[in-house]
Amino acid sequence: MRELFPEIEPYRTHRLAVDDLHELHIEECGNPDGLPVVFLHGGPGAGVSPYHRRFFDPKRYRIVLFDQRGAGKSTPHAELRNNTTQHLVADIETIREHFDIEHWVVFGGSWGSTLALAYSQAHPERTLGLVLRGIFLGRPGELRWFQELDGGARWIFPERWARYLAHIPEAEHDNLTEAYWRRLDSDDPEVRLAAAQAWGYWEGGSTTLIHDPDEAGNFEQPQVAISVARAEAHYFRHQVFLQPDQLLRDVDRIRQIPATIVQGRYDIICPAKSAIDLAAAWPEAELKIVLAGHSAADPAIVDALVTATDALADRFVTAR
């Protein structure tokens, strides 16, 4: 089993204004002359973490990571104005142009897979290769699966779901995303934080293959909980600013790009059907379904992702 590469620090950090409101935090790691790759984090709203740098061989990759609008160290924190999928796709292209990168590998998991597909379909000529994990296509059924009463995830993690549901009065159970949004957009900071923590407990603790219903999850810090919950509710109530089945409809634009799709068989947040649907529309892509949940830290996911990034480096670094 492959493991993550050793811990590294950025060799350069940047602040990049992408409009009059938003300024992005960007890191460059690895080899400044290496194969460029852009890392697209999940959420939306989660931000990048030090371990995200470690999926790539630092001797062969120039690793570009950034916090998306409103996330992590980007400012303003948890800001949702001028914050749509189309804005984020434009930001990725702005970053590429800012660094004078001709084309690059695009790597994204969960929400990052959605954004990677949207970006590569908009800019296929700039995309050398794709590594996608935990596929989320933003379709209505996927949104309802995890967030709503008529979805299926509540049957898998009932203890955790009970706490998620209990935060909302029964009269509002017909649309839990909207009910949470009303609280996440409240003028009362205590109301916002309580809703964010309830939202984060449900999602953040449902990621790993080995499930502990009492585990707090990975969104328990107040700042992260608020940015993730607000951004996710904002995107989900707008159907992630995509047309239904858009990412499957437009897959022909990227079928010539080498790609690996890594999917946990027991991923409850982004179930395997989405990865299988994507692979069916894109037979040239390599589909790896592994014994794992949703988390990028599950050992089988790490093994598949590191293998995929090494394969792209073997292909393109040699060619260069």
Which bin fits 7, alpha (ψ -120 to 50), beta or left (φ > 0)? Answer: beta
267 is annotated as an active-site residue: yes
CA dihedral 94, 98, 99, 102 (to 10 degrees): 60
The beta strand positions in 3-135, using DSSP E, are 12-17, 23-30, 35-40, 61-66, 104-109, 127-133
- Residue in 74, 110, 113, 227 annotated catalytic: 110
Question: How far apart are the C-alpha atoms of 85 and 247, rounded to whole Å?
Answer: 12
| 3-class DSSP string for 212-256 | CCCCCCCCCCHHHHHHHHHHHHHHHHCHHHCCCCHHHHCHHHCCC
Q: Are 63 and 54 in contact, with CB atoms under 8 Å apart?
A: no
167 is annotated as an active-site residue: no
Distance of CA 236 to the CA centre of its chain: 13
Residue carrying the six token digits 């858009």: 246
- Residue in 57, 91, 250, 267 annotated catalytic: 267
- Residue in 22, 25, 234, 294 annotated catalytic: 294
Task: List Cβ neighbours of 298 (8 Å cut-off, separation of 6 or more).
Answer: 208, 209, 264, 292
77 is annotated as an active-site residue: no
In eight-state DSSP terms, residue 24 is E
Output Rg (C-alpha) for the chain, integer angstroms.
Answer: 19
Distance of CA 259 to the CA centre of its chain: 17
| SS3 at position 261 | strand
Residue carrying the six token digits 């203890």: 159
Which residues participate in catalysis according to the annotation?
110, 267, 294
